[in-house]
Amino acid sequence: MKLDLTKDFAEYAKDLNQASRDANIQKAMARAVKSYRDTTAETMKRYPHTPDLALEVQGIKTNAIENNPDLLQQAMASVERNKGKAFYAKDAEAALALAAQIIGKGKTVVKGKSMLGEEIHLREYLEEQGTEVWETDLGEFILQLKKERPMHILSPAIHVPREQVAEIFSKFFGKEVPPDIAAEVAQVREFMRDKYFTADVGISGANVVAADTGAMVIIENEGNVRLSTGAPPVHIVMVGIEKIVPTFSDAMKVAEVTWRYAQYGIPGYVNIISGPSKTGDIEKVTTYGAHGPKEFYVIFVDNGRSLMARDERFSQALHCLRCGGCMYECPVFQVTAGHFGYTYLGGIGSIWTAFVSGGLEKAAPLLYTCLRCGRCVERCPMSINVPEMVGQLRKMIVNGEQIGDGDLTLAATVGNASQALSS
Ligand code: SF4
């Protein structure tokens, strides 16, 4: 099939040019890039073993992606053993339908930041179903009010300076909120408290999953994940299948490298969640639903990842830890923020867009925006060769090839392992 590139290219080019002239974006990006470079340099000096650990994690990820179908089955079995319920969703539609079915009608959801959620448009879908959804991550909350998409995978509202945040909050809360970051944070904290304890369901992603134990490792700083996964009676984890590694010890190594390259010496919180809350304090009888959620669900989402895993030209893109480091060093991202991309941003984002978020047609403008300068490879803890993959995808466009024609083997294999909700 011939690709129609004209429409997206024109709109995208207009958007990119506008962004490069936006004073708010320029101000916010200059602050963010400086802060990222300073903090990362200091962090690496304090924890000099990090590059060696990153090399070890490259090996762990290579092995994990090669064995993904087996690890997926193992992870699902571990979740079930821990008294949770595990599901495999082969695409976005299946993932959304599962989530909606678990949540039920007329409910309130508190949600942690999740790129997968953005990929499948989770909040928008649930809102259409009549669910009240609150983004609890501060940056995501700002964007929810601003009705915009994230401009960075870790700092979604990176392009919104404090002055603009004050305007947005003053309008939403119906009172004057000064352009003072501490005051802005305090205002959201007060508003969100009540939401955590009255919500029916908490939804989170996971940074890494250990197949042997079924442990979900979730890194955060704000404490919002803690509250949204701990306070409501039901917790749903929605996670991409590429996040699974063989063991708990592997998972902790992946987590450490992720937060270090995301510029943290140590994050505020590392949540390890493996099942519903429980107690055995009365007569040693295990009872589920103590202080935390009584019900725990994990939806493992494929949505094009298994196709990427099986194509040796692109499987390395699945090693991405979503640390966000490459974006700060990308010369295009530095002047346009997240306008260089849709859900997944920058050079690595163009590859992910091609496989999981719109196909080659959608990814084409991004693939031709990338300068292939290689600065991202230098910064990346996984040394992902983005320029090489961008070149391969451009070749596919020129040759009229499509992503993964007719390759659905994995979906058939693991589909059998998935549980039906009614069972
Ligand atoms: S491509 Fe590398 S640097 Fe960029 S977000 Fe992924 S792991 Fe981090």
Instruction: Please choose from 326, 332, 353 the residue to mutate so as to test ligand 1's pocket, defined by most ligand atoms within 8 A of CB.
Output: 326
Contact 62, 319 (CB under 8 A): yes
- Give the pLDDT confidence score for residue 3 in this predicted structure: 58
Instruction: Please choose from 36, 152, 322 the residue to mutate so as to test ligand 1's pocket, defined by most ligand atoms within 8 A of CB.
Output: 322
> What's the gap in Å between 261 CA and the centre of ligand 1?
9
- Give the pLDDT confidence score for residue 305 in this predicted structure: 98
Instruction: Please choose from 37, 152, 257, 320 the residue to mutate so as to test ligand 1's pocket, defined by most ligand atoms within 8 A of CB.
Output: 320
Environment class of 384 (CB within 10 Å of its CB; exposed 0-12, middle 13-18, buried 19+): buried
> What's the gap in Å between 224 CA and the centre of ligand 1?
24
Vertex 314: Cα angle to 311 and 319 (nearest 5): 115
Q: What is the mean pLDDT of each run of 10 residues along the chain (423 residues)?
A: 64 90 86 90 95 98 98 98 98 98 97 95 96 96 89 73 93 96 96 97 98 98 97 98 98 97 94 97 94 98 96 97 94 90 93 94 94 96 98 95 64 42 43
Tell me the torsion sign for CA atoms 121, 339, 356, 382.
Answer: negative
- Give the pLDDT confidence score for residue 412 in this predicted structure: 43
Alpha-carbon span 129 to 389, nearest angstrom = 38
Alpha-carbon span 372 to 51, nearest angstrom = 23
* Domain 67-279+286-306, architecture per CATH: 3-Layer(aba) Sandwich (3.40)
Dihedrals φ, ψ of 60, to 5°?
Answer: -60, -45
**Closest CA to ligand 1's atom 1:** 320
**Closest CA to ligand 1's atom 4:** 326
Which atom of ligand 1 lies closest to the CA of 325? 3
Vertex 290: Cα angle to 288 and 293 (nearest 5): 75
- CATH number corresponding to 6-48+314-409: 1.10.1060
Instruction: Please choose from 61, 260, 261 the residue to mutate so as to test ligand 1's pocket, defined by most ligand atoms within 8 A of CB.
Output: 261
Sheet hosting strand 244-245, strand order edge to edge: 244-245, 208-210, 215-220, 269-273
- What's the one-letter identity of residue 129? Q
Distances, alpha carbon 155 to alpha carbons 196, 215, 261, 356, 419, in Å: 22, 25, 14, 21, 35
> What's the gap in Å between 5 CA and the centre of ligand 1?
27
Q: Which residues of 251-267 are buried (b: 16+ CB within 10 A; e: fewer)?
A: bbbbbbbbbbbbbbeeb
> What's the gap in Å between 29 CA and the centre of ligand 1?
18
> What's the gap in Å between 73 CA and the centre of ligand 1?
26
Token readout for 306 is 């298994």
Please provide the size of the chain in residues: 423
Alpha-carbon span 78 to 83, nearest angstrom = 9
Alpha-carbon span 63 to 246, nearest angstrom = 9
Pocket of ligand 1 contains residue 384 by CB under 6 Å: yes
- Give the pLDDT confidence score for residue 88 in this predicted structure: 98
- Give the pLDDT confidence score for residue 197 in this predicted structure: 97
> What's the gap in Å between 36 CA and the centre of ligand 1?
14
**Closest CA to ligand 1's atom 2:** 380
> What's the gap in Å between 49 CA and the centre of ligand 1?
19
Residue extents of the structural domains in the chain? 6-48+314-409, 67-279+286-306
Pocket of ligand 1 contains residue 324 by CB under 6 Å: yes
Contact 360, 397 (CB under 8 A): yes
Q: Which long-range contacts (CB under 8 A, 24 or more apart) does 19-25 make?
A: 19/335, 19/336, 19/337, 19/339, 20/335, 20/336, 22/159, 24/159, 24/160, 24/161, 24/164, 25/159, 25/335, 25/336, 25/337, 25/339
Token readout for 280 is 């055995």
Pocket of ligand 1 contains residue 320 by CB under 6 Å: yes
Kindly report the pTM of this predicted structure. Answer: 0.93
Instruction: Please choose from 340, 382, 388, 390 the residue to mutate so as to test ligand 1's pocket, defined by most ligand atoms within 8 A of CB.
Output: 382
- Give the pLDDT confidence score for residue 419 in this predicted structure: 46
Which atom of ligand 1 lies closest to the CA of 323? 8
Torsion of CA 100, 101, 104, 110, to 10 degrees: -40
Pocket of ligand 1 contains residue 349 by CB under 6 Å: no
